[in-house]
Amino acid sequence: MRSSIRDAAPSPIDSTLVAELTAHEKTRLDELRATHPVLTQLGARFDDAGHEIALVGGPVRDALLGRPVTDLDFTTSASPDEIEQIVKGWADTTWDVGRAFGTIGVRKGTETLEITTYRADEYDPQSRKPVVAFGTNLNDDLARRDFTVNAMAVRLPGLEFVDVHGGLDDLADRTLRTPIGPDVSFGDDPLRMMRAARFVGQLGFIAAPDVTEAMVSMADRIGIVSAERVRDELNKLLLSDHPVLGLRVLVDTGLAERVLPELPALQLERDEHHRHKDVYEHSLTVLEQAIALEHRLDQRPDLTIRLAALLHDIGKPRTRRFTGDGTVTFHHHDVVGAKLARKRMRALRYPNEITDDVAMLVELHLRFHGYGSGDWTDSAVRRYVRDAGDQLERLHILTRADSTTRNQRKALRLQRTYDELEQRITQLAAQEELQSIRPDLDGNRIMEVLDIGPGREVGEAYRFLLDLRMDRGPLPEDQAIEALRAWWAAR
């Protein structure tokens, strides 16, 4: 059993507190070094130059969890100028867009590295932007990290594991804690509250009680964070393995009220007869079912379908009406929801293309239900396909995911009906692709080239050219004319 170090006092760097690793954890760090030889190379260069360097944060956490490690983040005693000198001649490329924050970017082979001078930042209470202050040791740098599981480091080149805040214990407990008091940590950088929800969805962790309490009491502070940064964290959450877990954290702590108020608004009070679904729970279920159908898409995880699934019913609170017999209606919630989705996504600074796609999917998500009567003509099917455009496959997924009925017979009936619609779409598409193909020369041109009048021979020439087009694809006019004259001479 690992000895607990959570209550140990932070130690200065010259007596670094090193947690006891299991043999399995040691093996994972050895594997990390073996699969990323830049760790040994970089460690040796900094050591030769008389500077400390450590792999820190997410890469260490993911290596210990057995997750893939991609981007590598380092912290060092070297200044940005010194970093550049140390990697000169070794790195393939460097860039310094983060120099003001002490960061130098490095590309070595296929590896992307970020090397940052030790930091000991302070924050302006009215802004999440830090007043950049370089630190003098690794211990101070780790204290400014967001969560203890991201405040572990591996010093190079010796691969010495450093854990002054009990991150390894929290990793084993799958718990999110902050290296310093959560009220201080979130006060410094409110975006960390969004990040907590993201790690719940991404890693399957739970937030410690004091972290959750701080998120609840400080939710308003998220307002100082730019819309773009909120959007980026929301995207990372939505693209995680279990986004519903993180979304529940946003709603339960009140953060969603500030960043995505349409989501908690779905928690409509149930009418006394319980004649409509819990729209909030339904929407989360639709999101999960859409994710299960993402295998139909070329690229996954897919942000567009996940946003559309989450937002597809946000028009319901605005359109809910109670009828005289106590039933509930949500007429036109698809149209209203599309407008609300567009408005929220613009507020979060989403690109126009993804905003348009999500809004269209929300607006079309009910269209299929008119098909169940069985009276859709071929032209109606064509309009369905035309209106969906390049979002047709996502609309298929959203429509199927939107069926959350517990009535197994009804669910199977809906599935069969949609199977039938997709088959009709496929058949019509195949037919109309063939029907849309025309010869490279029309009848008038054929008569002009062959100097003949209307009659059976024009039809024969037309069919020859059509077969030619099917075999060889479209031809330039001069080649089509040459082929036509050769056929005419040989017939």
* β-pair partners for 314: none
Structure pTM?
0.79
Residue with tokens 């017999």: 325
CB atoms within 10 A of CB 100: 9
- Give mean pLDDT, residues 451-464: 91
Residue type for position 191: L
Annotated domain spans of the chain: 14-167, 174-260, 275-432, 443-490
Let me know if 23 is exposed, middle or buried by CB neighbors in 10 A (0-12, 13-18, 19+). Answer: exposed
Backbone angles phi, psi at 117, to 5 degrees: -60, 145
CATH fold for the domain made of 174-260: Hydrophobic Seed Protein (1.10.110)
User: Which whole number is the average pLDDT over 411-416?
Assistant: 83
User: At 104, is the secondary structure helix, strand, or coil?
Assistant: strand
pLDDT at position 142 over 70: yes
Which of 3.30.460.10, 3.40.190.10, 2.30.30.100, 3.10.180.10 is the CATH number of 14-167?
3.30.460.10
147-164 as b/e: b if 16+ CB within 10 A: bbbbbbbbbbbebebbbb
Helical (H) or strand (E) element with 132? none
Distance CA 276, CA 331 (A): 13
Q: Which of 136, 215, 134 is nearest to 182 (CA)?
A: 215
Q: Which long-range contacts (CB under 8 A, 24 or more apart) does 465-472 make?
A: 465/439, 465/440, 465/441, 466/437, 466/438, 466/439, 468/439, 468/440, 469/437, 469/438, 469/439, 469/440, 470/437
Q: Where does the pLDDT of residue 435 fall: very low under 50, low under 70, confident under 90, or very high at 90 and above?
A: low
Map tokens 């529940």 to a residue: 248
Between 421 and 254, the more confident residue is: 254
pLDDT the model gives residue 157: 92
Enumerate residues 6+ apart whose C-beta is below 8 A from 159: 29, 30, 33, 39
CATH architecture of 275-432: Orthogonal Bundle (1.10)
Phi, psi values for residue 72, rounded to 5°: -110, 125
- State pLDDT tens for residues 26-66: 889 989 999 999 999 999 999 999 999 999 999 999 999 99
Per residue in 247-260, pLDDT (tens digit) is: 999 999 999 999 99
Q: 236 and 207 in contact (C-beta within 8 Å)? A: no
* 161 backbone dihedrals φ, ψ, rounded to 5°: -85, 130
